[in-house]
Chains A and B, each alone.
Chain A
Amino acid sequence: MNGDMNAVLVAYLHRELSDAQMAQLEARLRSDLALARRLIEIASEEATLIRWARGVHKAQQIDDAESALRAVEDLQADARQAREPAQNPPAKIFPALRFPTWGDITGMGTVWLGSGVVLSVLAIAIGAWLLWRPGTLPGGPAIARVTRLEEATWAVGHPAVREGTGIPAHWELNLKSGAVEIAYPSGVTLRLTGPSRLKMSDSMHGLLELGQVAAYVPSPAIGYTIDTPSLAVRDQGTRFGVRVDPKAVTEVHVFEGAVEAKSSAGEGRLTRTQPLTMTQAARFDTIGKLIDWLPPDYDSFAAKRLAPGVVSTSENVRWLLRPPPSLERDGYSSDDTMILVLERQDVILPLDLRVTFKAPMNGTKSAYDSNTAVLPAGLRVDSYLLHFNAAKINPNVTGIGGNVKFERPIVGVIARGDQLINSDSAFGAPGVQYEIGDAKIRGLKKASGGGGSDVLIFSGRNGVGIHCDSHRGSVSELRILVEAKL
Chain B
Amino acid sequence: MTSPQHDPADRNEIAALLMRHSDSVYGYILACVRNRTDADDLLQNVAVAVIAAKTPPTADADFGRWAREIARRRILEYQRGKARLQIVDPLLLERLSEAANFVDQAGQEAARREALLQCVEQLPPRSRQLLIDRYAGASEDIEEIARRFGRTVQGVYSALYRVRQILRDCVDRKLAPEARP
- Is there a chain B Cβ closer than 8 Å to A422's Cβ? no
- Is there a chain A Cβ closer than 8 Å to B70's Cβ? no
B1, B34, B40, B139: the one contacting A162 at CB < 8 Å is: B139
> What 1/0 flags go to B67-90 for Cβ under 8 Å of A?
000000000000000000000010
B16, B52, B113: the one contacting A48 at CB < 8 Å is: B113
> What 1/0 flags go to A427-451 for Cβ under 8 Å of B?
0000000000000000000000000
Expressed in whole angstroms, the minimum distance between the Cβ of B146 and any Cβ of chain A is 14
Q: Give residues 149-168 of A contacting B (CB, 8 Å).
A: 162-165
Complex: how many Å from CA A7 to CA B157? 10
Number of B residues, CB within 8 Å of A: 61
Known: A43-B31, A111-B1. A3 touches B165 (CB 8 A): yes
Q: Give every chain A residue within 8 A of B137 (Cβ-Cβ).
A: 134-135, 162, 164
Complex: how many Å from CA A48 to CA B26? 9
Smallest Cβ-Cβ distance to A4: which chain B residue = B161
For the complex, would chain B's binding face be called helix, strand, loop or mixed by DSSP majority?
helix
Q: Are B89's CB and A26's CB within 8 A?
A: yes
> What 1/0 flags go to B1-44 for Cβ under 8 Å of A?
11110001001100110110011101110110011110010011
Q: How large is the interface on A (under 10, 10 to 19, 20 to 34, 35 or more residues)?
A: 35 or more
Q: Are A122's CB and B99's CB within 8 A?
A: no
Q: Give every chain B residue within 8 A of A49 (Cβ-Cβ).
A: 116, 120, 131, 135
Q: Give every chain A residue within 8 A of B132 (Cβ-Cβ).
A: 53, 56-57, 60
Complex: how many Å from CA A213 to CA B53? 42
Q: Give every chain A residue within 8 A of B8 (Cβ-Cβ).
A: 115, 117-118
Q: Give residues 125-144 of A contacting B (CB, 8 Å).
A: 125-126, 128-130, 133-135
- Is there a chain B Cβ closer than 8 Å to A99's Cβ? no
Count of A-B residue pairs with CB < 8 Å: 184
Q: Are B138's CB and A163's CB within 8 A?
A: yes
Complex: how many Å from CA A58 to CA B138? 13
Question: B12, B92, B99, B113 — which one has the most chain A CB atoms within 10 A of its CB?
Answer: B99
Q: Are A26's CB and B138's CB within 8 A?
A: no
Q: Are A6's CB and B99's CB within 8 A?
A: no
Complex: how many Å from CA A112 to CA B3? 4
Expressed in whole angstroms, the minimum distance between the Cβ of B13 and any Cβ of chain A is 10
Smallest Cβ-Cβ distance to B8: which chain A residue = A115
Known: A6-B164, A48-B116. A106 touches B48 (CB 8 A): yes
Q: Give every chain A residue within 8 A of B102 (Cβ-Cβ).
A: 33, 37
Could you list 11 examples of A-B contacts with CB < 8 Å?
Answer: A45-B167, A47-B24, A50-B135, A50-B136, A57-B132, A113-B3, A121-B11, A126-B18, A135-B138, A162-B138, A165-B138
